[in-house]
Chain A
Amino acid sequence: MFESIKGFGVTFSHMFKKVVTEEYPEVRKPTAPRYHGRHILNRHPDGLEKCVGCELCAWACPADAIYVEGADNTEQERYSPGERYAAVYQINYARCIFCGLCIEACPTRSLTMSNEYELASDSRADLIYTKEQLLAPLLPGMEAPPHPMRLGNSEKDYYISGPDNPGASAGAERAPYSTAGRQGGAS
């Protein structure tokens, strides 16, 4: 008899304990800083795209979720420093498993991941994100491409100063886990 009441006592004592439930839609708790969320295509500080259309991300992808079509930059129409840029860039989020191998493969640190995860959609076509959706917003001082190189005469000037001006990937570069970001002192 007493044992059964003792059992209820355990339940009742939870009335006075702190509630562990997260109030998700109203309050969104920040994820771990390196949580693998949806991708971002970064920009150089003058607004040119970092992506050079090399397709290494597409090659690294184990789920074949990335589709890239490169094209040549011309002097009149320049989207990225260097020779090539990605004319078509798509990530199929109905396939992407957020493993981050594309991020590791990217040679220009163009592709990084954000912590955004609210991606559900009622159509499969909407889950294929195009380049317009993936590109980072233009920050103050950036100019929408195409435009000529503003930060130097060749793409080398862009790449050498890369760690100092991480662009939209600032979070990933500047976090305490990244020594390059700390030494760069671009905070």
Chain B
Amino acid sequence: MGIEEHIPGGILLGTVEKLVNWTRKQSLWPATFGLACCAIEMMAAGSARYDMARFGMEVFRASPRQADLMIVAGRVSQKMAPVVRQIYDQMPEPKWVLSMGVCASSGGMFNNYAIVQGVDHIVPVDMYLPGCPPRPEMLMDAILKLHDKIMNEPLGERRRRKLEAQGGPDPLVGTIPSSYRYNKAKRRQWEQAVAEGRQEQLRIANWMQEGAHRG
């Protein structure tokens, strides 16, 4: 993605890869790209109650040259599309895109001629976040899943080929819900459920047991 692509193979080691990925994920600066109501939730995620600074991303850069992550928050109209692309092109490598909300992910309820039906028509998207608008926890969940993906990204062409030879990344990477990933007992439950193919049932069963909705 970045400079490491141009280094001849065989120089970098796996440990360096971990270190580089860790530094990248721990200071992921988002570019503000608020286009609609999702941007309000994005601002809330940066505020004191949710405080994204805990993950090293307190500065929402208004300048694309200083940003690593573009959070496309809101519906992208046909007129805005070239602007989105330009902002993306101006960001330095490595860069990631998070499509926040259903409008950015697929057009959502605006299935009409004015709205781009998914921002992935314009820029490559690394994480889709449904919700209309998604609550700040959902945004943080998406960002933490993206962190997980960044942590497991191969560094350079050689490592990528090696990973592909092994059959691609672990299917758990970037798919565990964050509240399960950060809780050891629940994480074990999830891993077992993945083996049995009933993750969604586990989620519903746990929700019913927690019983917070009763009251």
Binding site for B on A (CB under 8 A): 20-22, 24-26, 28, 30-31, 33-35, 40, 62-64, 92-99, 114-124, 126-127, 129, 132-137, 168, 170-172, 174-176
Contact = CB atoms under 8 A, between A and B. Distances in A.
Given A20-B48, A122-B126, A176-B215, A28 B102 contact: no
Contacts of B49: 20-22
Contact of B131 (A28, A31, A40, A119): A119
A97 B131 CA distance: 6
Contact of B208 (A20, A96, A119, A171): A171
B78 to A, nearest CB: 19
Interface of B: 48-51, 54, 102, 105-109, 111, 118, 120, 126-132, 134-135, 137-138, 140-142, 144-145, 149, 174-175, 177-183, 198, 200-205, 207-208, 210-215
Nearest to B180: A118
Given A21-B54, A25-B181, A118-B179, A94 B130 contact: yes
A156 to B, nearest CB: 27
Nearest to A137: B201
A124 B106 contact: yes
A137 B189 CA distance: 15
A151 to B, nearest CB: 21
A115 B178 contact: no
Contact of B213 (A33, A94, A126): A33
